[in-house]
Structure 1
Amino acid sequence: MTQLGAIFLPQNPPERLREVVRAADDSGLDELWLWEDCFFESGIATATAALAWSQRVRIGVGLLPVPLRNVAITAMEIATIDRLFPGRLLAGIGHGVQPWMRQVGADVESPVTLLREYATALRALLHGEEVTTEGRYVRLDKVALDWPPSPPPLLLAGATGPRSVRLCGEVADGVILTASTTVDGVREAGSLIDDGRRRAGRDAAPPVTVYMTARSGAAAAAAEGVRAMVDAGADKVVLEPTADEDPVAYVRFVAEEVAPLTA
C-alpha cells in the first residue's frame, strides 16, 4: 500500500490540533504533516504536542525555514523530540519563503549556500559528530550534542528551483516537493535528485515525498492522482486540503476513503 499522509494547515487555530491528531491516530492515517509558515504556528511546538497526543501516527514538519533557526538549536530540538518519540518525527528543512525571510530581517544573499552549509552541519550533529565549520553563514566551534538520537533520524529537505532540488539530492535523506509539482515535475525532480546523489557519491537516491491538493468527497480522483505521482517516482504522497476543509473530516477522508483505493 502506498504511504499516505495529510496536512494540518497552519491556517487552522492551534487549539484544533489535538482533535485532528486523535482522528489521524484512530483512523490509521500513516502520517500527519505540519507547516511552519510565517506567521501562523511553530513547527516544533505543534509537532511535539501532536506526538504526545498520539500513539502511532508519524508527524512530519515541512518545512523548518533555516534562515530563522540557528543550526545548533534545530539539532537540539530534533534530537530531543526523536529521543522522546523514537522514529515518529519527520523533520524537513528549507529556504523559507523569501518575502517572509526579508520581512523578519533573516534573508540571505545565497539561500542555496545557506541550505548546503546548514544541512551538512545539521546532519552531522544528528549523527553524533563534533562539528567545527567556518562557512559563509554557518559557524560552529567544536559543537556536539550531549544527547544525540540513536539511530539518527532522517533529515528531509524541500525546495522548488532546480539548483535547490539537486542540492537536496546531495545533502538530505529525503526530498519534499510542494503541491505545485505536476506529475512531469516529479519526474524532472527525480532526475535532479539523482544527479545530486551522484555528485555526492551516495549509493541510493533519497526518497521523494510530494504534496498533492485533493478535496474531500473525491476519493477516486484523489487515488488516481496518488497513483500517477507514484508512477512518476514519488515514494510517498501527502494530501493537502483546501482552506475550507474541516481538518478532522479531512484526515478521516484520506485514511478511510483514499488509502484503500491506493492499495
Structure 2
Amino acid sequence: MTALGTVFRPQFPPEILRGMAEAADDSALDQLWVWEDCFSESGVASAAAALAWTERVSVGIGLLPVPLRNVALAAMEAATLHRLFPDRVILGVGHGLQVWMGQAGARVSSPLTLLREYLDALRALLRGEEVTVDGTYVKLDKVRLDWPPLKPVPVFAGGIGPKTLRLTGEAADGTLAVADQPADGVRRIRETVGPTQPIIAALHVTTGPDAAERLARAVPSGVGVAGDAETVAAAVRTLAAVGADTVVLQPTGDEPDPVGFVRFVADEVRPLVP
C-alpha cells in the first residue's frame, strides 16, 4: 500500500496548523508534514504541536537544515518527540538552502561532508550510543542521550544532486525526494539508493476551477498535477509504480483553503490509491 500524506506549508500562518492536523488525524491520511524553511516556522515546534493535537497521524519534519542545528541538539529534540509520541515521528535532515545558510551565518564549504558526518552521529545518538567524533564539522566528546528513543527510529535525508542522493542511500535510513520529481526522476532515485530503502516523494497539487492557473504560477516547470481526485490519484499511482513508497501531496502557497485541501486528499484521493 502506498502511504499518502500532505503538507502544512511555511507560507501558511502558524495558527492554521491545528485545523490541518486535526483534519488529517480524523481522516485516512497516513502523514502530515511540516517544513523548516528559513525564516518561517520551526519544524520541531510545529511538529510537537501537531503531534500533541492528534492521536493517530504520523508527523514528518522535512527538512531540518543540518548547518543550522547542532547535531546533539537535534538528537535531543528528536529523541524527546519519539519518547512522547512513539511511532508517529518521521525525521528528515538535509543541506538546507545554501543562500539561507549564508544569511544565518551557518554555510559550510562542503555540505556533503557535513551531511555524512551529521547522519553518522545523529543515527548513533538515537541508537543510545556514546559518541565521540572529531570530524571536519561534527565534533562530540563522549555525548550520550539520557533519554534515547525506546526502539530504533529511521532518519531520512533529502537532496537533489546525484552525489547527495548516493549519500542518502549509503548513510540514511530513507530518502526524501525533492518536490515535483517527474516519474523518471523518482525512478533514477530508486536506482541510486537501491531496491529496499524507503523513498518519500512530494508532488504539488491544485484542484478546483482555477487549478491549472495556480499550478502554473507555483511550479513554472509544469511538474505537478492540477485536476480532480482521479487525475491526482493517477499521478500518485505513477510515482508509486516507479519506486515511491510514500507520496506527499503539497498544496501551493496560495491555496485558498488548506484545511479543505487536506479533506480533498483524504476523502477523495486516498480511496483511489491502493
TM-score range, shorter chain: over 0.9
1:130 and 2:130 are equivalent in the alignment? yes
Q: 1:222 aligns with which of 196, 209, 232?
A: 232
1:41 and 2:41 are equivalent in the alignment? yes
Shift of 1:192: 1.4
Partner residue in 2 for 1:87 = 87
Partner residue in 1 for 2:241 = 231
Question: How far apart, CA to CA, are the structure 1 residues paired with 2:191 and 2:110?
Answer: 23
Partner residue in 2 for 1:240 = 250
Question: How far apart, CA to CA, are the structure 1 residues paired with 2:231 and 2:107?
Answer: 39
Partner residue in 1 for 2:222 = none
Shift of 1:205: 3.2
Query: Counterparts in 2 of 1:1-263, with a 5 A limit?
Result: 1-194=1-194, 205-217=196-208, 218-245=228-255, 246-263=257-274
Shift of 1:28: 2.3
- Amino acid aligned to 2:200: T
Partner residue in 2 for 1:198 = none
- Cα deviations by residue, 1:115-161 (Å, 9 ceiling, x for unpaired): 00000000000001100110000000110101010112211110100
- Amino acid aligned to 1:235: D
Q: Which stretch shifts more, 64-73 or 215-224?
A: 215-224
CA contact (8 A) 1:213 1:242 kept: yes
- Cα deviations by residue, 1:223-242 (Å, 9 ceiling, x for unpaired): 01101101111111000111
* RMSD of aligned alpha carbons: 1.0
Identity fraction in percent: 58
Shift of 1:53: 0.2
Q: The residue matched to 1:214 in structure 2 has which SS?
A: strand
CA contact (8 A) 1:179 1:210 kept: yes
Relative to the length of structure 2, the TM-score reads 0.91
Q: The residue matched to 2:133 in structure 1 has which SS?
A: strand
Question: How far apart, CA to CA, are the structure 2 residues paired with 1:191 and 1:29?
Answer: 28
CA contact (8 A) 1:125 1:131 kept: yes
Question: How far apart, CA to CA, are the structure 1 residues paired with 2:188 and 2:108?
Answer: 27
CA contact (8 A) 1:169 1:205 kept: no
Runs of 4+ in 1 over 2 A off after TM superposition: none
CA contact (8 A) 2:28 2:270 kept: no
CA contact (8 A) 2:60 2:89 kept: yes
Unaligned residue ranges in structure 2 (runs of 5+) = 209-227
- Cα deviations by residue, 1:205-258 (Å, 9 ceiling, x for unpaired): 320000011113421111011011011111110001112222101111111110
